[in-house]
Structure 1
């Protein structure tokens, strides 16, 4: 799933990603597209707080592409 937050300023990219994570299933991978450089800092904090993971962060032509994985389903 791609979450397009290009052109939005902090905290909107993180909020859009958080909403998409809630809709995605456990262990799903999502890609955030953002032009706000703060997303490079905010998203790892968001994922750590949610128990998910940042898979990769890349930047090209002023657009950050951040791939994340949602938390796995609880076991037990």
Structure 2
């Protein structure tokens, strides 16, 4: 997935681990960079949507495909 700045494999991780790993992965990125995530926890769909909204990161894509949940998140550009 060379279209993204970083990738996170959260397959097999139960709630809340996918979101915790996403938070940690985003800390390594610069504002405006994108993170691709794949997870299998059904709760991750709502969890990642809520996480993006609360943290003001942009959820560019959220889809389910064959039991896997795919997300693309753009890290917010800090106003500091």
Q: Mind listing any 5+ residue stretches in structure 1 that lack a counterpart?
A: none
Q: Could you list the runs of 4 or more consecutive aligned residues of structure 1 that deviate by over 6 angstroms after TM superposition?
A: none
Given that 1:26 and 1:72 are in contact with CA atoms closer than 8 Å, whether structure 2 keeps it comes out as yes
The yes-or-no answer on 1:17 pairing with 2:33 is: no
1:42 is aligned, of 47, 56, 72, to 47
TM-score (norm 1): 0.91
The yes-or-no answer on 1:3 pairing with 2:8 is: yes
Given that 1:52 and 1:69 are in contact with CA atoms closer than 8 Å, whether structure 2 keeps it comes out as yes
Per-residue CA deviations over 1:49-75 (Å, capped at 9, x if unaligned) read 111111011222211111111111326
Q: What is the Cα deviation at residue 7 of structure 1? A: 0.4
SS of structure 2 residue aligned to 1:54: strand
The RMSD of aligned alpha carbons is 1.1
CA distance in 2, matches of 1:31, 1:37: 17
The yes-or-no answer on 1:28 pairing with 2:10 is: no
